[in-house]
A and B are shown apart, each in its own frame.
Chain A
């Protein structure tokens, strides 16, 4: 089954403790991206990757890092999480830029 898998689904952590949210897709898609969703602000893109070793900033990249060492994986790294990064995070992938995007189920992160 074609899917985008995020882990973990839920995470509560403390300020400053480094964490990684993993994202994996099994569709051999070139394009992958991360979004965060906050009430009243909608979904906003954090980072995206056009292919292996090619990443670029989205609209709200501050406080986040990403890497794309393999085509299928696109982890989101928070080196020093802060409470304003409490949010619902979605990973997405698509084969090309203007085609159907597949989203993961989301990771609800709480930073206390």
Chain B
């Protein structure tokens, strides 16, 4: 699976939108872009995933660049509960699992 690059950490204020970037310049045509987050002392939690088009769900939005070499996870209104490590993962069609990098540590200030 191709690699992703994320900032080590980001800080935002409660009730403001958060844009978490991810670069994946070597993405292949069949790679899906997945986002997971891990809250302290918990297992990873699925956030969203997409292939080419932007995606929305109850947790977040995923904006995918037209050339697919980058994407942005958008939390529309951050709460303290959103403080976590966010992982951007590329997943091809193979049976192997998710390759987690170091992710972005998101800090939410009250």
> CB distance A105 to B43 under 8 Å?
yes
Kindly count the residue-residue contacts between A and B in the assembled complex, taking CB atoms under 8 Å apart: 55
> CB distance B43 to A104 under 8 Å?
yes
Task: Sort chain B's interface into a size bin.
Answer: 20 to 34
How many residues of A are counted as interface, with CB atoms below 8 angstroms from the partner's CB atoms? 25
What residues of B have a CB within 8 angstroms of the CB of A104 in the complex? 43
Q: Select which of B32, B42, B91, B97 is within 8 A of A33 by beta carbon.
A: B97
Binding site secondary structure of chain B: loop
Q: Which residues of A contact B (CB under 8 A)?
A: 4, 31, 33, 35, 42-45, 48, 50, 56, 58-59, 90, 92, 97-106
Known contacts A100-B49, A103-B44, then 18 further A-B pairs from the complex at CB < 8 Å, ordered by chain A residue:
A4-B43, A31-B95, A45-B96, A48-B96, A50-B95, A56-B95, A59-B96, A92-B43, A92-B97, A97-B93, A98-B91, A98-B93, A101-B36, A101-B44, A101-B46, A104-B43, A106-B42, A106-B43
